[in-house]
Structure formats: C-alpha cells, structure tokens
C-alpha cells in the first residue's frame, strides 16, 4: 500500500539535543513546535482507514522532497521550480531526523523499519512544503 502526503510547512533542521547549564539534555522548543505542527498536518491527511505500520514491517520511502521558498532577493526570472538548494541545512542528517522522528508513533511505530529512501532531495520552489510518498 502507498501513502502520499504533502505538508505545507517550512522544513526544519534538527540537532540531536542541547545540554543546559545543569547538564540536563533537552530538545529545543523550536524543534518541539515543528514536530507538533508536522503531526497536526499529517493527521489531517491520513485516510480514516489507515492503521499504523507495525514494528517489523519494511517501510520504503519512494519520494521525500524538502522544498524551501525562494529567497526574496532571487529575481523572478531566475526562479525555476525544483532548483537544487546547496546551502544549509544538511539533507541526510538534520532535515530527515526532525521530520522522520515526528512521524514515529503516527505513521509507523519505529523509524528503524525504514529500509530505503529513494528520490531524496532539497530544492527551491514557490512555497515551503514537504512531499512524502511511502510504500509499506
């Protein structure tokens, strides 16, 4: 079965954790808010008959595209949909961690069941959005 989601939210990079003055590890508020917003948007798009993907099932991500809005300084004549974004944040670690962690417990029980991610990219577009296609 396939699940297609398109979330109108700005992709957010994630640091593993921060350490406070007293040595306690914590997740920054900005990341918590981003993950809550992702959960709300996903809940709105999940079909009514969808059941969470159980642990042990293989999950294949067919497409995962992080689209960032063009900078205001970019001339309109140079705005081509899908232009690769070569600046920060890091695609493999930081963008995936925050997004895939937010889906854990909502789409799948454990993100360790993801066996492959195909067509992974970050690019520029007219709006901020994340496109996800999952096969399970």
In the chain, the domains with their CATH numbers are 2-135 (3.30.1330.70)
Q: Are strands 59-69 and 129-135 parallel, antiparallel or unpaired?
A: antiparallel
Is the dihedral angle over the CA atoms 42, 90, 67, 17 positive or is it negative? positive
* Confidence grade of residue 16 (pLDDT, cut at 50, 70, 90): low
How far apart CA 34 and CA 31 sit, in angstroms, is 5
How far apart CA 50 and CA 62 sit, in angstroms, is 18
How far apart CA 98 and CA 10 sit, in angstroms, is 12
Q: How confident is the model over 67-109, as pLDDT tens digits?
A: 999 988 888 888 888 888 888 887 777 889 889 999 999 999 9
User: H or E element: which one contains 59?
Assistant: strand 59-69
What does pTM read for this prediction?
0.87
> Which phi and psi (to 5°) does residue 125 adopt?
-160, -175
């Amino acid at each position: 079965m396939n699940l297609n989601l398109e979330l109108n939210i700005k992709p957010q990079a994630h640091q593993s954790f921060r350490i406070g003055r007293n040595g306690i590890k914590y997740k920054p508020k900005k990341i918590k808010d981003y993950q809550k917003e992702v959960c709300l948007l996903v809940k709105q798009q999940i079909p009514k008959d969808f059941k969470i993907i159980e642990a042990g099932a293989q999950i294949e991500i067919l497409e995962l595209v992080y689209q960032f809005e063009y900078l205001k300084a970019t001339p309109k004549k140079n705005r081509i949909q899908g232009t690769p974004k070569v600046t920060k944040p890091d695609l493999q670690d930081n963008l995936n961690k925050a997004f895939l962690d937010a889906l854990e417990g909502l789409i799948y029980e454990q993100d360790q069941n993801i066996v492959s991610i195909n067509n992974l990219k970050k690019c520029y577009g007219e709006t901020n959005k994340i496109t996800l296609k999952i096969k399970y």
